[in-house]
Structure 1
Amino acid sequence: MAERRMMLRDPGLQPERTRLAWSRTAFSLTLFGLLCFRGWCRDGNLFYGVSALISGVALTAMLAGWHQRHGKQFLSLSLWSVGALLLLNSLRQVLA
């Protein structure tokens, strides 16, 4: 009987949790893109500019609802490439 109760879940909450997770991701991506854009405007650093551009493209794809079909891989690729660009920029600044 206890096993049966453990298997029952409320399927109504899963879509809401998923929607909330995507909204948090969109908010974080927006802030990240804006900070990169600010860094590009202030310092003129190309890495910040490219990171802001990639973040903007990923956010646009996400807000357009593309993530429901096949945007999850695109979004993760975008975030990975932005992280790699910022890592390269940090290494460049440390080594300079």
Structure 2
Amino acid sequence: MAIQRILAEETVSVTEMRKHPTDFFTDHPIAILNKNQTAGYMVGKELFETMVDLIRQLQPQESFTATFQPSVTHLKAVTKGSAEFLVKANKEELGDFVE
């Protein structure tokens, strides 16, 4: 049996968490266990915001936060258009493109 890493001092089962979920939004992480395996972690608002701020400070200045969240319909349309372009494109339009 493999040893599992739990990055919290407190644990709670999914079943118990479902009974009173807001009880587990705390100033420290709580590991949520499903069948004795870590399923995830819960933290309170302040701790989460602090974690996000720290991550942002550690990111290179060139990085950015993506805000592009297309719908499935939009992605299908883009994919179809791209496929049609590749089929019809001549060598000049393709440039250095290789598959």
Query: TM-score when scaled to structure 1?
Result: 0.26
Greater RCO between the two (CA within 8 Å, min separation 6)?
1
Q: Which has the larger radius of gyration?
A: 2
Structure in which a larger fraction of residues adopt helix: 1
Query: TM-score when scaled to structure 2?
Result: 0.25
